[in-house]
Structure 1
Amino acid sequence: MFNFVGLSLVVLLSATVEGVEYDYFKYHPMPEITSWMNQTAKDYPDVVTIVNYGKTYENRDINLLKIGLSTGAKKKGIWMDCGIHAREWIAPAFCQYFVRQILQTYKTDTKIAEMMKNVDFYVTPVLNVDGYIFSWKDNTTRLWRKNRSPGPEGCACSGTDLNRNFYANWGTIGVDLTDCCSNIYCGTKPVSEPEAEAVTKFVGGQSGDFLAFLTIHSYGQLLLMPYGHPNVIAPNNDELMEVGLAAAEAIKKVHGKEYVVGTSPNVLYPNSGSSRDWARLQGIPFAYTFELRDKGDFGFKLPEDQIQPTCEEAYSGALHIITYAHDKAIHGIESGAMTTASATLWSMLLAVGVTSATLM
């Protein structure tokens, strides 16, 4: 699994796409993001590869960038996806910024270099490709959220909320089961949508190798941890909270922005069927949803002059979580937050074959 051959000698100081310097601090339509992905892989042929892992409803490719250094050994993984909700344009901007940062710094930053040797980063800049393209169509579609699959028979509306479609307490709370026109319509069944299926197959097929699962959204300035159901607590809840609070502190140190940390029912609203909850149920220990800027002044239409500070602070928070997950797995370094009782409970649940259907 997670292998590369060789080490790139190219340092990406400023990306160029078709001869034009790529602007990381503006929003880009899907064709430009695709060109950027291709150029990044071309600039780093031994460190970056493009992986196609699915098709959208409209038969477009779902691609990610796999980033890491070759060691000849099996490696762990870090997952990051952006753009699961079409209108949240700041999220794909952040994924691109994150890729740029680790590629710029791994040769000079010893910690980044170490992590690049021990883990591969799997970064999907836009998961909901159809919806994202539709949100760029005109002003009437700018706030489109869902994917573009047709509604069930008898419903004239299109789209399913992909972040309500995963097999994690699907269809029980914080969703709409019947109104396909709703922004939180969860689909006809768990993983009914090809985009959710693509993530489920790719990550689920090797979930034991992933150390962290970060899904990037907006807005609200929140760090959400499992679970979205108010009656379920993650077995490593204390550790998730401690790591999340430290990440929020790292975010605050950059530009002074406050991020609230907690489960969705406690700091936002209850929901079911999220990719974050699904990832935690797969045994991935650190699963978080980032809700980037702002707190509602601009909402989903965050001005471009806020892209840079938003990305800078979110990078600091994400890097804290990733570093913690790496150091715990590779070096056995951890906080004291994960209690013996929690660890024992999780082991017992896995031993008896608990699934998302029974746990939730």
Structure 2
Amino acid sequence: MLRLGGFLVFTQLLLGVYHVLSDIKPLVTLENYDYTKYHPMEEITSWMVMVVKENPEVASSMVYGNTFEGKNISVLKIGLNSTKSKKVIWMDCGIHAREWISPAFCQWFVKEILRTYKTDEKMNTILQNLDFYVTPVLNIDGYTYTWHNESSRLWRKSRSTPPKDCSCYGADLNRNFNANWGMIGVSRNCCEEIYCGSGVLSEKEAQAVTTLVESMKDRVICFLTIHSYGQLILVPYGYPEVSAPNYEELMQVGLEAAEAIKSVHGTDYTVGSPPDVLYANSGSSRDWARLIGIPFSFTFELRDKGDFGFTLPENQIQPTCEEAYAGACSIITYVHDKVFYNAATAITSVWAALLMSCLTSVIFL
């Protein structure tokens, strides 16, 4: 009986070990990473490490700031090595914590670039001329908080401590940038979702973006910030009756992107400035980017139009990302071609004119 009892105990131990091991997920690689699921921050961080590890010839990462709670804010740099100073496309996701489709899109975007650049001649050319700087989650504290439980799922703001006269945490990071800060479409009540912070750039996350982007603003030619929801492409500015100097071109590029989006799954996106198609606001990163001289600056508001809102189901991740990728690529291609091909054409025209002038001078001599 003792032997039988020992055997039963040993068998139970083996079964216990088996169940524990069977619950352990396999090590994440880019090959088995599921882009049709929402992922908590620790999985996104592991994914970023894997992107660099598996694509050292084109991908790198760096920490460019810290959140209020001390978490590292990292950016993925995607581009082919070059000895020349390259132009930059900026993209950030997850500035509002509850907009889970936004980080999912940033990951999809990186995946598609890495998947296609070796075989797609256009994407390869773009990566030779441009570097993509992609921040999958900017509001890391807030995003992590939305994964705690159902009661925190719709948290929007950062997680900074409240001012002395208030008891509510966090500020709206997209009201905290130096772009007509605190003027319109904001609240000074720290318990409101659109609380703009105690001062311009009071939030460490907004400070981090400002410092990095301003350090290379002469190279940044396009600024894309990804949000949800509403199916919108927003152009500067959020302040009423004030338009960007290249407003007409921004609208043209935005409308072309909306057409590219529609061509994928038939989804309609509306293009315009916030006062025209959404609501007036100030302190946004989109407006700030245009104000410091970045010529092309857009906000994407991804699916849907309110049926699910911030809780977009996972079965909509793939179609949402597929169409938004087409829209983003439309903008990126336009910007790239304007900077590189138009510049080359202009230089060729100048040299042709000079050559003709010289030939004419020779003839008349």
TM-score range, shorter chain: 0.7 to 0.9
- Aligned pairs for 1:7-26 (under 5 A) are 17=28, 21-26=32-37
Change (3 A) 1:108 1:147: same
The Cα shift of 1:313 comes to 0.1
Choose 1 or 2 for highest CA Rg: 2
Change (3 A) 1:308 1:18: closer
The Cα shift of 1:203 comes to 0.2
Match of 1:271 among 276, 281, 284: 281
Matching residue of 1:99: 110
Q: Which SS does the other structure have where 2:150 is aligned?
A: coil
The Cα shift of 1:205 comes to 1.4
> In the alignment, residue 102 of structure 2 is paired with which amino acid?
A
Mapped pair 1:56 → 2:67: yes
The Cα shift of 1:94 comes to 0.2
Whole-Å separation in 2 of the counterparts to 1:269 and 1:39: 39
Matching residue of 1:284: 294
Q: Is the 8 A contact 1:86 1:131 kept in 2?
A: yes
Matching residue of 1:126: 137
Matching residue of 1:214: 224
Q: Is the 8 A contact 1:80 1:215 kept in 2?
A: yes
Change (3 A) 1:19 1:306: closer
Q: How many residues align?
A: 319
Whole-Å separation in 1 of the counterparts to 2:31 and 2:43: 11
Mapped pair 1:65 → 2:70: no
Matching residue of 1:149: 160
The Cα shift of 1:196 comes to 0.1
Whole-Å separation in 2 of the counterparts to 1:59 and 1:152: 19
1:295-319 CA distance string (max 9 Å, x none)? 0000000000000000000000000
Matching residue of 1:140: 151
1:264-293 CA distance string (max 9 Å, x none)? 000000000000000000111110000000
Whole-Å separation in 1 of the counterparts to 2:253 and 2:27: 36
Mapped pair 1:228 → 2:257: no
Mapped pair 1:160 → 2:171: yes
Matching residue of 1:197: 207
The Cα shift of 1:16 comes to 6.7
Matching residue of 1:313: 323
Q: % of aligned pairs identical? A: 63
Q: Which SS does the other structure have where 2:53 is aligned?
A: helix
Whole-Å separation in 1 of the counterparts to 2:328 and 2:31: 29
1:207-250 CA distance string (max 9 Å, x none)? 11011000000000000000000121100000000000000000
Matching residue of 1:328: 338
Whole-Å separation in 1 of the counterparts to 2:257 and 2:241: 25
Pairwise CA RMSD: 1.4
Whole-Å separation in 2 of the counterparts to 1:332 and 1:257: 31
By percentage of residues, which structure has more helix?
2
* Structure 1 segments unaligned to the other structure (5+ residues): 1-14, 335-360
> In the alignment, residue 338 of structure 2 is paired with which amino acid?
K
Matching residue of 2:353: none
The Cα shift of 1:204 comes to 1.0
Whole-Å separation in 2 of the counterparts to 1:295 and 1:268: 12
Match of 2:127 among 87, 106, 116: 116
Whole-Å separation in 2 of the counterparts to 1:98 and 1:110: 17
Change (3 A) 1:123 1:16: farther
The Cα shift of 1:123 comes to 0.3
Change (3 A) 1:116 1:268: same
> In the alignment, residue 149 of structure 1 is paired with which amino acid?
S
Whole-Å separation in 1 of the counterparts to 2:117 and 2:343: 22
> In the alignment, residue 254 of structure 1 is paired with which amino acid?
V
Whole-Å separation in 1 of the counterparts to 2:29 and 2:249: 45
Matching residue of 1:297: 307
Whole-Å separation in 1 of the counterparts to 2:241 and 2:208: 28
> In the alignment, residue 90 of structure 1 is paired with which amino acid?
I
Q: TM-score, normalised by structure 2?
A: 0.86
Q: Which SS does the other structure have where 2:132 is aligned?
A: strand
Q: Which SS does the other structure have where 2:311 is aligned?
A: coil
Q: Is the 8 A contact 2:82 2:128 kept in 1?
A: yes
Q: Which SS does the other structure have where 1:325 is aligned?
A: helix
Matching residue of 1:45: 56
